[in-house]
Amino acid sequence: MRIVTLPALLLTLLIVAPGCQPDEPAGGAMGEGTLRLGAVLGETDAQGFARAEAVVPFAFPGDHGPHPRFRSEWWYLTANVQNEFGAEFGVQFTVFRQALAPGPGPANPWLSNQVFLAHAAVTGVLEQGHWHEERVARGHPGVAGATAEPFRVWVDGWELAGRNGGFDEQRLSVKADAFAVDLQLDALKRPVLQGDRGLSAKGPEQASYYYSVPRLSARGTLRIGEVEHQVSGRAWIDREWSTSALSSGQVGWDWFALHLDDSWEIMVYQLRRADGSRDRYDHAVLIDPYGAKHPLGADDFELEPEIFWQDDDGVAWPLQWRLKALDRELRIRAAVPDQRMETSVSYWEGLVGVFDMAGRRTGRGYMELTGYEG
């Protein structure tokens, strides 16, 4: 659920960063230019891009690959895995694609109008640690890109690719300074189309195309520092593409993708509004062991923060929640408090445990919190 993140990230990246040094002559000279670039990314200049407005049937494997007619897109993967001794780890890998201009772009790949941004992170529960790294690259095939057939998304040495060219069997390979991940991923459930047959509304005029692969098996190696672990567990993939940006009044969101031990999955998010009111686009989906989805509207579930953790900057992050949906009542708790992604844009994304009200572990998953820095 990154619909808002993407433009925010790239706006930060492309506009705020140069403007951060208004005092220096060079930066000052650049100011005018960056404003124009901002206009390119603004709503008014979405002209020329396709928009997520109507339900369109998805066609695979084509829709696993990039949609350059849309401005933004991401491939999002989380995994909760254990080593042979039962030590738990979390893995997150996200690739964002952003088009700077509509159209196919010039023939010279150095002039590509596509920019790719990747985040990778690893959580170690036993270590109570969280490591993350960010990479940015232009859409030159030599360094970053995405293709549907064979399926492959790569950014500056990191890659998520179909093992046999398809989407169902994938390999994630990430090598960062502090950690490395090499996972084989095999889909255990079919893709679930979010929203209305894949058209996911986030506001009155904001929508994206959105589907999830809620359960994949994950197996491979995970290295933290010098220590390598053989790991296995479950993974979740989200795919989303769109052109629209954050709707006004929404300040952030809380999003959860949970694997329950009884083979159910839950995806739930709530959009927090500046006035504190409930957003009617809040949404939850329960997926049964057979892959059938059970959507819930904003009024059908309750999501309440219970315990906050304060970071060094004084920001309070809600790290324990109570979720009530249908007949289930769950407690969701961060496995490690500090799983902040201190990258171009700061957010909290990390491994959580799922418990029943009696405190018994009933699942694992990932949680994403944004907009708390105020």
Partner 1 sequence: MSLLGLSQLRFLLRARWSTLSVLVGLTLGVAAVVAVHQIGSRINASLEMVGLPHLDGLTELLDRDGANLTDADYFALRARWRAGEYTDVRALVPMVEGQRVMAGRRALVVGVDWIAASSLPASGSGIDGRALIADGRLLVDGSFGLRAGESIEVGGASFQVEGVLDADLGGLVLADLGIAQTLLGLPPQALSQIGVRRSDPYARASELAERVLPGISAGFARRSSGWQPEGWRARSISAEQPSLGFARSVVFNVGALGLLVLVVAWFLIYQIAIIWHRRRRLLNDRLEAMGVSRIELTRGFVRAFFLLGLVASFAGLLGGVVLARGLGAMTTLAADAAGQWPPITGWLLLKAGVSGMGVGSLSAWMACRREWGSGSGAPTWILAGVLLAVAAAGVYFPVTGLFGGFAAVLALGMLVVAVVQPMLEALRASALRLRGRLLNRHALREVAWYPRDLSVAVGALSLAVATSMAVGLMVESFRTDFAQMLDQRLAHDLYVDGGGRDLADVHGWLLEQPSVDHVQPYGRARHRVGTVPIELGYSPLDEAEAARYGVRGGLGPGEALVSERLAGLLGADVGDRLALGGGLRIAGVFSGFGEAGYRVLVDESVAADLGIELVHDRLSVSLAADDQVAGADLDARLLAAFPGVEVEPRGRMRQVAMEIFDRTFAITSSLTLLALLVAAIGVHNSLVALRLNQQQGVHLLVMLGVTAGELARVAVRRALGIGSVAVALALPLGVLMAWLLCAVINPRAFGWTVDLHLALSDVAVPLALGIGAAVLAGLLPSPRDSAGEI
Asked if 358 is part of the footprint of partner 1 (rule: CB under 8 A), the reply reads: no
Buried b (16+ CB within 10 A) or exposed e, 320-355: bbebebeebebbbbbbbbbbbbebbbebbbbbbbbb
Residue with tokens 């997150």: 92
Told to check if 107 binds partner 1 by CB under 8 A, we report yes
Q: What is the Rg, in whole angstroms, of the alpha carbon atoms belonging to the chain?
A: 20
The whole-angstrom separation of Cα 280 and Cα 202 is 9
Question: One symbol per residue from 170 to 209: x for binding partner 1 (CB under 8 A), - otherwise; what is it?
Answer: -----x----------------------------------
| Nearer of residues 85 and 110 to partner 1, judged by Cβ | 110
Give just the sign of the alpha carbon dihedral 295, 299, 302, 303: positive
Q: State yes or no: residue 40 binds partner 1 (CB under 8 A).
A: yes
How would DSSP label each residue in 222-245? EEETTEEEEEEEEEEEEEEEES--
* Residue 170: closest CA among 126, 236, 109, 71: 236
Out of 12, 50, 109, 322, the only residue in the binding site for partner 1 (CB under 8 A) is 109
Under rule CB under 8 A, residue 147 binds partner 1? no
CB of 95 to partner 1, least distance (A): 15
Residue 227 touches partner 1, criterion: CB under 8 A: no
CA distances (Å), origin 351, targets 160, 311, 333: 20, 17, 9
From the list 142, 225, 289, 297, which residue makes contact with partner 1 (rule: CB under 8 A)?
Answer: 142
Instruction: Check residue 352 for interaction with partner 1 (CB under 8 A).
Output: no
Please identify which residue in 100, 188, 201, 296 interacts with partner 1, judged by CB under 8 A: 100
137 touches partner 1 (CB under 8 A): yes
106 touches partner 1 (CB under 8 A): yes
* Identified binder of partner 1 from the candidate list 46, 143, 161, 188, rule CB under 8 A: 143
Token pair for 80: 């909760």
Q: Say whether the peptide bond before residue 150 is cis (omega within 30 degrees of 0).
A: yes
> What residues make contact with partner 1 under the rule CB under 8 A?
13-14, 17-18, 20-21, 24-27, 29-34, 37, 40, 100-101, 106-111, 113, 115, 136-138, 140, 142-143, 156-157, 175
